[in-house]
Amino acid sequence: MAKGFAYRLEPLLKLRRRYEDEQKRVVAARLREISVLEQRQQVLEQEIVRQAEAMRRALGAGEVEMEHLRMSRHWMLRLRRGVLETDAALSAERALLAAERQALAEARKNTKVLERLKERRREEWWTAWQRREQAELDEMNTLRFAHVNLTEDRQSS
- Calpha distance 119→146 (Å, rounded): 40
- Calpha distance 138→6 (Å, rounded): 27
Asked whether the beta carbons of 118 and 13 are under 8 A apart, the reply is yes
CB atoms within 10 A of CB 48: 16
Residue 103 lies in a domain: yes
Residue 15 lies in a domain: yes
- Calpha distance 78→72 (Å, rounded): 10
Residue 148 lies in a domain: no
Residue 65, phi-psi category: left (phi > 0), alpha (psi -120 to 50), beta (remainder): beta
Residue 83 lies in a domain: yes
Residue among 20, 85, 79 at smallest CA distance from 46: 79
Q: For the chain, how many structural domains are there in total?
A: 1
Residue 109 lies in a domain: yes
Per-residue pLDDT 10s for the chain (157 aa) are 457 888 899 999 999 999 999 999 999 999 999 999 999 999 999 999 998 888 888 777 776 678 877 888 899 999 999 999 999 999 999 999 999 999 999 999 999 999 999 999 999 999 999 999 999 999 999 988 888 888 877 777 6
pLDDT of residue 108: 97
Residue 70 lies in a domain: yes
Q: Whole-prediction pTM value?
A: 0.72
Rg (CA), the chain: 37
Q: What domain range includes position 79?
A: 10-121
Residue 88 lies in a domain: yes
Residue 145 lies in a domain: no
